[in-house]
Amino acid sequence: MENNLIEQKYNKWILVLSIAIPLVVALLFTVNLRKLGYDVAPMTFLPPIYATINGITAMVLVAAVLAIKNGKRQLHENLMKTAIALSVAFLAMYVAYHMTSDSTKFGGEGTIKYVYFFILLTHILLSIIVIPLVLITYVRALAKKFDKHKKIAKITFPIWLYVAVTGVIVYLMISPYYV
């Protein structure tokens, strides 16, 4: 019964965060502090940092899956908390960059342009979809509903891994065009 209360307690937060995070990010993406007259330096140093964080997140996710497959539950738990923290750090830096810097246009032409936009679009859409999946997966572990946790983790893991890896790919593809 207590485990059901844990899930019920967090379900409202999962819903709120799953809607609020993408909306706030989209809103903040349209805000440029410099264009609003604030004297802030563009944080142009952030993209390689947050791309690296995405790469580390991917490695942590793989390590977490290997840990649980080898029966190392505590290690798995710690790695998953690290992956969540890395994702939050990525998001904070991503928003900070876009609030202080002009958007970079992809300069590639031909087929590579379509490949880039396909990867970017799927990355963005799945990054929105993965938010509730990560939160639900985490809450099911907190509630010790490991059968349900494992079931949704099989969906969450590949999507989260794809988002992390494509974040690096998007950065590598657009980095030659940063001013």
- H or E element that contains 91: helix 73-100
* Ramachandran angles phi, psi of 44, nearest 5°: -70, -10
The answer to whether residues 5 and 72 touch, using CB atoms and an 8 Å cutoff, is: no
Query: For 20, phi and psi rounded to 5 degrees?
Result: -65, -45
DSSP state of 105: P
CATH code assigned at 39? 1.20.120
pTM: 0.90
| Residue 172, pLDDT above cutoff 90 | yes
In angstroms, the CA 133 to CA 86 distance is 16
DSSP string, 107-153: ---THHHHHHHHHHHHHHHHHHHHHHHHHHHHHHHHTT-HHHHHHHH
| Count of domains for the chain | 1
Q: Which two tokens stand for residue 115?
A: 């490949």
How is residue 3 written in tokens? 């485990």
Mean pLDDT of the 155-178 span: 96
How many other CB atoms sit within 10 Å of the CB of residue 93?
A: 18
Task: Quick: pLDDT tens for 123-165.
Answer: 999 999 999 999 999 999 999 999 999 999 999 999 999 999 9
pLDDT at 41 over 90: no
Over residues 4-39, the pLDDT tens digits come to 777 788 888 999 999 999 999 888 878 888 778 888
Domain, as residue range, for 78: 2-177
What pLDDT is recorded for position 40? 85
Tens of pLDDT along 72-130? Answer: 999 999 999 999 999 999 999 999 998 998 888 999 999 999 999 999 999 999 999 99
> Has residue 2 got a pLDDT over 80?
no
Cβ count within 10 A of residue 138: 21
